[in-house]
Structure 1
Amino acid sequence: MIEKLEEIFKKGSVTYYNSSYFFPKKIREDVTKLYAFVRVFDDLVDSVPQKIEEYYNLRKLYQLEKSGYNTGNIVLQNFVELARRKGFEDSWIDAFLDAMESDIYKKVYYSIEELLKYMYGSAEVVGLFMMKILDLHNDSMYYARMLGRAMQFLNFIRDVQEDLYLGRQYLPVEDMEKFGIDKMECNEGFIEFIRYEISRYFEFEREAEKGFKFIPARYLVPIKTASEMYKWSALRIKKSPCIVLSKKVKPRRTKIVITVIKNFAGVYLWRSLNPII
Structure 2
Amino acid sequence: MPGEFSGAAGQPREPHLRDAYRTCRHVAAEHGRTYFLATRLLSAPRRPAVHALYAFARMVDDIVDCSEPTTAQIGSRPQLRARGDGRAPEPAAELDLIERQLRTTLERGVDAVPASARDQILLALADTIRRYGIAPRHFWTFLDSMRMDIPGTPNFRDRYATMAELREYMRGSAAAIGLQLLPILGTVVPVPEAEPAAAALGEAFQLTNFLRDIGEDLDRGRVYLPADELAVFGVDHDLLAHCHRRGAIDPRVRRALAHLIALNRDIYRRANPGIELLEPRVRPAIRTASTLYAAILDRIESNDYEVFRARAIVARHRRLAVAATEFTAAALHRAR
What range is the shorter-chain TM-score in? 0.7 to 0.9
Equivalence for 2:99: 65
What amino acid sits opposite 1:149 in the alignment? E
CA contact 2:234–2:252 (8 Å) conserved in 1:
yes
* Contact 2:166-2:226 within 8 A present in 1 as well: yes
1:45 and 1:51 in contact (8 A); partners too: no
Residue of structure 1 in register with 2:88 after alignment: none
Secondary structure in 1 matching 2:234: coil
Partner-residue secondary structure (3-state), 1:10: helix
Q: CA distance change for structure 1 residues 208 and 270 in 2, over 3 Å: closer, same or farther? A: farther
Q: 2:168 aligns with which of 110, 117, 124?
A: 117
Q: Deviations over 1:131-161 (max 9, x none)?
A: 1111223111110001000000111001011
**1:55-108: CA deviations, max 9, x gaps?**
538x999837369x9x98221122122112222222210110111111113211
- TM-superposed CA distance for 1:130, in Å, is 1.1
Cα 1:97–1:267 shift into 2, 3 Å: same
What is the rounded CA distance, in whole Å, between the counterparts of 2:319 and 2:260 in structure 1? Answer: 24
1:12 CA drift (Å): 2.6
**1:178 deviation in Å?**
0.2
Q: CA RMSD in A?
A: 2.7
In the alignment, which residue of structure 2 is the partner of 1:45?
64
Alpha-carbon offset, residue 21 of structure 1? 1.4
Paired position in structure 2 for 1:220: 283
State the shift of 1:52 in Å: 6.4
Deviation at residue 53 of structure 1 after TM alignment: 3.1
TM-score using structure 1 length:
0.88
Instruction: Tell me if structure 2 keeps the 8 A contact 1:159–1:248.
Output: yes
Residue of structure 2 in register with 1:180 after alignment: 234
Structure 2 gaps, min length 5: 1-18, 79-94, 108-115, 152-156, 244-248
- What is the rounded CA distance, in whole Å, between the counterparts of 1:270 and 1:201 in structure 2? 31
Shift of 1:18: 1.8
Structure 1 residues 268 and 50, CA gap change in structure 2 (3 angstroms): farther
Matched residue SS, 1:104: coil
- Alignment-derived partner of residue 144 in structure 2: 98
8 A Cα contact 1:44 1:52, kept in partner: no
Match of 1:29 among 39, 48, 55: 48
| Alignment-mate amino acid for residue 113 of structure 1 | A
Match for 2:24: what amino acid? L
Aligned to 2:122: 76
**Could you give the per-residue CA deviations for residues 177-211 of structure 1, whole angstroms, max 9, x where no partner exists?**
10012222322211110000000100100001111
Q: CA deviation at 1:20?
A: 0.9
Asked if structure 1 preserves the Cα contact closer than 8 Å seen for 2:214 and 2:308, the reply is: yes
- Please identify which structure carries the higher helix content: 1
Mean alpha-carbon deviation: is it higher for 111-120 or for 1-10?
1-10
Deviates more, 1:22-31 or 1:183-192: 183-192
Partner of 1:134: 185
Cα displacement (A) at 1:13: 1.2
Residue equivalent to 2:8: none
Pair 52,158 (structure 1): closer, same or farther in 2 beyond 3 Å: farther
Corresponding residue SS for 1:25: coil
Question: For 1:221 and 1:107, how far apart are their aligned partners in 2?
Answer: 36
Bigger Rg, structure 1 or 2: 2
Is the 8 Å Cα contact of residues 41 and 327 (structure 2) preserved in structure 1? no
* 8 Å Cα contact 2:174-2:203 kept in structure 1: yes
Counterpart residue type for residue 158 of structure 2: K
- CA distance in 2 between counterparts of 1:120 and 1:92 reads 10
Matched, 1:17 2:49: no
Listed as ranges, the matches of 1:145-164 within 5 Å are 145-164=199-218
Q: In the alignment, what sits opposite 1:254?
A: 317
